[in-house]
Structure formats: C-alpha cells, structure tokens
Structure 1
C-alpha cells in the first residue's frame, strides 16, 4: 500500500480521512501544527481530534511554512493530501498576511521542494473550497446565466441582501458547476483559488497526478466546537447549549450546501484511488441549499433547548449570499453520490455534540474583533 502524507491531518476532515485510510491499510503520516484556535490549549492532552489519531499515524508537529518541516514530512511519501490551511472567511479579511503565508506560501514551499529535489510523490490531492466561486451562478430572466458581482455595502445596509444584476433584476439561484466563474469575495477564497491553481498547474510539469476538491460546508461529529470563526453548526450548537440566543446575520435566508464528513471522506478517497480523477477539479456537496434559519431551528429541536433566534440584520463583508453544488461531474467520473442528507446528518452531529463538554461561547468576542476592523456592519 502507498504511504500517504496528510497535512493538517489532526484537523476535522484530515483526522477522519486518516482513520479511514488506516482501516484500508495505508501508512499515514500527519503534519500539523495543532493550532490553538482549532484544538484548544494544551492540544496534545485535551484535543479529541489529535487524541483520535495519536499513536495510529506517524505524527510530525510542524508547520507548512517551514521548508525543513516539509522536507521531513515528504520523505518516502507517495501521495499528499494537502488540508493544512487557515480557514475562516471573516477572519481572513484582517489576518491577511497569516492566511496568505500559510495557504499560499505553504503550498509554494511544497511545490518548490518537489520541483527541485528527488522524491517519491505520485499524486497530490488539494482541498479547495466553494468560496472560490464567490457569489456563484444565477439565472437572469432575459440574459440567461450570469455571475453577479459581490454585494454592495450600501445595499445591505438598507436591508437588500438578495443578489440583483446591474439592471436591478432579481436573479434565480442555480447550482454552481466546476465551469462557473471563479471570483472569490474573501482573502480566504483567494488563497484557496491560488492553492488549487498552483497544484493543478505545476504538478503536470513534474509528472505528478493532481486532483482538486471544492468542498462545500463540511460538518459532522468531531468538528471543533470552540472555534468561533468558522462552522455555523458548531457556533449555533455552542450558543444553544449555553442557553444563549442564536444570532443570525442578514435576514436568515442566506443558504449553504452542508455536506456530511463521511461523504467528504468517501469522495476524497475516490480521488486518491481512482485514476479517472487525475487532472480534474470536483465539487463535493449534497446539491441542496439549506438556509440559516432552518439550520438554527433544526439544532434547537435536536437539543430540545428553547432559545430565541435573533435575526440581527447585521452582515460581514466578504460573506456570500448563497451557494450550492452541481454534482454532475463527480457523479459521472467518480460515481460519487452523497449518502447523508441534512436531516440525518443533523441527528448524527447533534447526538455527538451532546456527548461533549459544553464549550465557552466565544462568538461575541470574535464579532467584536471584526467590528473593530470595520468588517461587521
């Protein structure tokens, strides 16, 4: 079996993938810096994500911004699954140097080593993101398919959150396919676009196969419940279990495609194992858009804790309104079909959450941070 390096392999997706690959007989190496934002203080002792993989993988504590750490991690590897990244749309708009250094420069160091030294790497899987699509794909009643520009602050201050075209015609949301326009609206999205393009451009020149997965909003048992910068299911869950009101941005009708962790792992393994995946970019989602109010109500019901829902009308610059995936390509080439849809996924996720310690609700602190930066309106 192949040796597989998973960068960010102690994270939510990475650790789940590592465990599944171990079951299949692969030798797994993990490079991870055990970020406090994700794993909490003293992560070697307290992080359930890290403890899950500890002693089951070859673990290297290090950072993708270090050439030495990369050189150690790449030794004798056949496949790289590159998950290590700073994640968080809002935070990326003011931690610009950090997001750029980790996501772009970290990927550049890896490729530079592979381009200039002997190695055994045969394939790289890059974790891209739906964020690279920006506002995604829409239908204009007269013009057909259009890709609207990012929403204007003045419009949202007046409570107009839905997307319109330049002639103010309200647009119909369509599923975003892989040929859709790439125009990210956040620094995070820009860095994921850059990662994907570097991998898919450089690897063919090195004789290395490459696959990119544009993941939608991934959720499920094991995700961080203490990170207030990303993952609305975790954020809402922590608010509910602290008996705090759920604060919802805009009018609550903004929507996302929520894809369960098991389906994400399955799609990623298909990319690792199937030659048909080589050279392709794939969406990974469910193909279903769920609005934020439905998410909140589903979690309140699951936890049986009645807390108020506050539709604040506030918004974050860099956030998109809607996005959901067109899965035609991944179904046709990899025969991938999501198995866990939102109702079942929420049941599995909430059951796991109820087994965990109640985390401190840090959302207000993160929102205050964004407000000071002028990004929360």
Structure 2
C-alpha cells in the first residue's frame, strides 16, 4: 500500500481534513499549495490548522519544476488543487481554465514521468452533471434537461417536460450524462477526464471523486465563491441578512468534510482493475432555505430573515443530489456524520471566527456583467 502521499491543494478546506485522516492512518503526507489570498488571506503563511506533521511546499501546480520536486519519493497523489466557484468562473474564464486545466496537465505529466506513483485520486464535482436526474409522473427519466432564459425571466424555476408536466428530481447516479453549465463545471470535467485518460495510458490507477456540497470547519469564510453554507455564515456573522438566488427551494446534497476525507482515503486503499468514478455525498437532499434556517437558529440569528432575490445566476442549476450506491458497494463508503450534528459542530466553530463579508461585492461583479437574470 502506498505510504507517502502528495496532496495538491492540501492546505485548503478539504485537503487539510484529508491530511488529518491520512496521518491518523499512518501515511506520510506532503502538501503542495499556492496559499492563494482569496482562500488563505494575504499573509502567505502556513495555516494554523494544517497538521504539524505534514510537510508543506508552497507553490503553484502550473510550475512543472515545483511539481516535480513535490513528487519526489511519493507513492500516491491526491489532486485537489483548483479554483472553485461557479459564478466567478463565468468572468475569470482564463484564470479558472489555467489553474484547473493546465494545472492538472502539469501534475499528470509529472506523474506519468515519475515512474513511482502507484495511484491518483482526483477531485471532481457534482457541478459536471448540470441539472440532476429527473422523472415524470409516468416514471420516464430525463437525464438531459435545462431551463431556458425566457422561463427564468418569468421566475419559473422548476423544470417541466415538453408537455409542460412538472418533473421530479431523483438521486443522480454516475451514469448520468454530464451537462456542463459553467466554466467551473467544464474545468472540473476536464480535470477528471484528463486524469483518467493519462492514467489509463500509463497504467496508473485513477479514481475520480465527484464531491457534492461539502461543509464543515476550516471553510474560507471570507471567500464569497466558496460553499453556500460558508457564504451564509459570512453574512450572519456580520449581522447581514443572507441572500438567496431564485426562491431558496433548490435541492442539494450536503456532505460532511469528515465523510469526504474518509471517502478519499478509501479511494486510495481500494483495489481496482480499471479507472473508477464515484459520487461522494450524503445521499440525502435538503433545500437551500431549510439549511439556512437551521444555521440561523444555531447561530442565534433568526431575526436576520433571508433576502430572496428572485434572480438567477448564470451557471446555476435547480436540483441535484447524489446516488451513492456505487461508493457504498465498491469503496465501502457510508456517511457517518448526521447533518444535524455536523451543522451544530460547524456553528460552534463559526462562533470563534471572523469573516469579511464580500457577498454583495461578488453579486455586483455578476450583475455588472449581465450574469444574473
């Protein structure tokens, strides 16, 4: 079994928790991270939460020499480094494409040349699905649906079939055809497919994990393009009403970062004879508004009623939540953190944090570019 592991993006939210998980199970961990200011602030210093036993190399995944050094003596690679944010990707097109796609190319080329890497686990995203899987009242499946601008301008958020019958969202399996609705989604699909293609060509096992909405401690609260729970927290901690696109009834799958870190470890340890792709989620759906209401109660900010904007953000989808049957069967993955307990832990951590609220600034960036309807 591989014992020395490199995690690109390992000083971030998911990467630091994965570092803890691997160290607990006897792995040696090296982290490569650019410590970008949008996530880590302007100090450029090692995050205090990153385990002391982990080696940190500060560098960019697009720097071939830095990546080559980081791979020295490494048995396996977790490639988590990426810019994240559906909205921001729609106007920082070159930056997202460069970091996510070119970065993956540099990493995979170095892996192929190393001769020592026995496995790669790459972080993909539920965003590649676009809309999740739907069915109609007769049980017919709709794997490729999308909302038209005219519908969104009327504030008609739900999906219908060609006969104007409402469609019902159901758990989305890995077999659903990708429908790429944002530059971010496109870049994550490129990351996933590039890793799988290079791995197959060089005989290096690759596992791609499609993360759903990951939440937990260490999220970058001052980054207005991070997960929705962190964005809500930033507003609430600053006594500002949270803002919600559309009507708040969008359904998502919120999964604890502890479960995600464990899934990553299982992906490394599973024996495989071919490339694999897995959904990593809780297998449960909740509306965005339900989640906000629970967080508001835990933070004692119930008086800050949400601002329902009634607007659509380019690249957003209506409903998507995970079918995790394959991860259960082939990885032995079972979510262990109940949402109520995970959210309570997050709320307790939030009480000791300072967040710079940049949400309105981010929304203005989108509006000024005509990226909201």
With the length of structure 1 as denominator, give the TM-score of the two structures.
0.95
Does the CA contact (< 8 Å) of 1:75 and 1:119 recur in 2? no
Structure 2 partner of 1:73: 70
SS of the residue corresponding to residue 275 of structure 1 reads coil
Instruction: Render the CA deviation track for 1:320-355: whole Å, top value 9, x for unaligned.
Output: 101100011111112211011321211111011112
**Aligned position for 1:126:** 122
| Mapping of residues 113-262 of structure 1, within 5 Å | 113-115=110-112, 117-142=113-138, 144-262=140-258
CA distance in 2: counterparts of 1:118 and 1:42, whole angstroms: 33
Q: Secondary structure at the match of 2:155?
A: coil
Matched, 1:371 2:371: no
Q: Which moved more, 1:154-163 or 1:121-130?
A: 154-163
Residues 373, 222 of structure 1: alpha-carbon distance in 2 compared, 3 angstrom cutoff: same
Residue from 43, 48, 54 that aligns with 1:51: 48
In structure 2, what is the equivalent of residue 112 of structure 1?
A: 109
Q: Offset at 1:152?
A: 1.4
d(CA) in 2 for partners of 1:304, 1:53: 29
Deviates more, 1:36-45 or 1:177-186: 36-45
Q: Could you say which residue in structure 1 is the equivalent of 2:339? A: 342
Q: Give the superposition deviation at 1:112.
A: 2.2
Residue of structure 1 aligned with 2:83, choices 59, 83, 86: 86
Deviation of residue 160 (structure 1)?
0.2
Give the number of aligned pairs. 371
1:21 aligns with 2:22: yes
Structure 2 CA distance, aligned partners of 1:130 and 1:54? 28
Cα displacement string for residues 39-86 of structure 1 (whole angstroms, at most 9, x for unaligned residues): 1121416xxxx2222642221111111111111111111100000001
SS of 2:21's partner is helix
Equivalent residues of 1:248, 1:310 under 8 A apart: yes
8 A contact 2:180–2:186 mirrored in 1: yes
SS in 2 for 1:224: coil
Q: 1:322 corresponds to which residue?
A: 319
In 1, distance between residues paired with 2:8 and 2:193? 18
Q: Could you tell me how far 1:184 is from its partner in structure 2?
A: 1.6
SS in 2 for 1:53: coil
Secondary structure in 2 matching 1:176: coil
CA distance in 2, matches of 1:290, 1:204: 37
Is 1:294 paired with 2:295? no
- Output one character per residue of 1:201-254: Cα deviation in whole Å (capped at 9) or x when no partner: 220221211111000000001111111112111111121121111211101101
Q: What does residue 352 of structure 2 align with?
A: 355
**CA apart distance, 1:195:** 1.0
Counterpart of 1:97?
Answer: 94
- Whether the 8 Å contact between 1:257 and 1:286 is mirrored in structure 2 is yes
Cα offset for 1:278?
5.5
Contact 2:131 2:318 survives alignment (8 Å): yes
Q: Is the 8 A contact 2:220 2:226 kept in 1?
A: no
Distance 2:164 2:24 in 1: 54
Instruction: Give the Å deviation of 1:90.
Output: 0.7
Gaps of 5+ in 2: none
- Separation in 2, partners of 1:238, 1:103: 26
TM-score (norm 2): 0.96
RMSD of the TM alignment (CA)?
Answer: 1.5
1:310 — aligned with what? Answer: 307
